[in-house]
């Protein structure tokens, strides 16, 4: 009898989709829209307001993804232990997820630092104004210019690993992967 894991798979995928898509949309659209505000002193406030609205949704998305990811891992624990390649891709997914969590948390810290500059004229949320002091706010803006893109790159890479996991579940891949381990142990395969 085949057990289905629709709920945890959906949690894994939908949480990741919201984390990836929301962060990418905010970096492209929200930050861009705030940068186009006529009043340069309003740009940080507008972007900060948008990111503050996104933060609880993002936190929920991350939580849903993590619960789903753990559930999928648990449901596939025997494949992880016996099928060649599944352990390696699971480790890669875990490492990428951990990196995405770290970058997300650090970006939030940077965002809070940038918000301290509210009311100063800036080019955009990640671009200090031409006459901006070289302080913590400007430094945080420059770091956010990079980190805002790192989150979608890392979460996108997790989505690719999810696709790899899906391919590894094809019946022909499972049998080949399960038989490869004993063949390797016996010196019959490399």
- pLDDT tens column, 57-78: 999 999 999 999 999 999 999 8
pLDDT attached to residue 176: 62
CA distances from 133 to 36, 67, 128, 130, 139 (A): 22, 43, 9, 9, 10
DSSP tally for the chain: helices H, then strands E: 7, 2
Residue 10 token pair? 């959906």
What secondary structure letter does DSSP report for 15? H
pLDDT of 1 over the 60 cut = no
Distance between CA atoms of residues 181 and 60, nearest Å: 39
> Mean pLDDT over residues 146-150, rounded?
95
Task: Look at residue 172 in the predicted model and tell me its pLDDT.
Answer: 64
Taking only the tens place, the pLDDT of each residue in 7-40 is 999 999 999 999 999 999 999 999 999 999 999 8
Average pLDDT, the chain: 89
Mean pLDDT of 130-155: 93
Read off the pLDDT of each residue in 133-143 and give the average, rounded to a whole number. Answer: 92
Predicted pLDDT at 167: 84
- CA 58 from centroid of its chain's CA atoms: 10
Is the pLDDT higher at 57 or at 118? 57
Query: 93 and 158 in contact (C-beta within 8 Å)?
Result: yes
- Of the candidate ranges 93-97, 111-115, 120-124, 160-164, the one whose mean pLDDT is the lowest: 120-124
pLDDT at 106 over 50: yes
Query: Taking a C-beta distance cutoff of 8 angstroms, is the pair 68, 93 a contact?
Result: no
């Amino acid at each position: 009898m085949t057990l289905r894991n629709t709920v945890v798979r959906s949690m894994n995928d939908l949480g990741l989709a919201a984390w990836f898509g929301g962060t990418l949309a905010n970096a492209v659209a929200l930050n861009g829209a705030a940068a186009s505000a006529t009043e340069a002193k309003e740009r940080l406030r507008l972007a900060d307001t948008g990111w503050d609205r996104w933060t609880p949704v993002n936190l929920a998305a991350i939580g849903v993804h993590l619960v789903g990811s753990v559930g999928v891992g648990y449901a596939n624990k025997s494949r992880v232990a016996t099928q060649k390649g599944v352990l390696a891709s699971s480790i890669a997914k875990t490492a990428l997820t951990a990196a995405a969590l770290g970058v997300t948390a650090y970006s939030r810290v940077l965002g809070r630092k940038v918000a301290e500059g509210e009311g100063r004229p800036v080019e955009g949320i990640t671009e200090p104004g031409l006459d901006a002091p070289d302080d913590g706010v400007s430094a945080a803006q420059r770091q956010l210019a990079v980190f805002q893109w790192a989150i979608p790159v890392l979460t996108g890479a997790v989505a690719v690993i999810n696709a790899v996991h899906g391919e590894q579940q094809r019946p022909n891949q499972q049998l080949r992967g399960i038989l490869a381990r004993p063949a390797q142990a016996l010196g019959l395969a490399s």
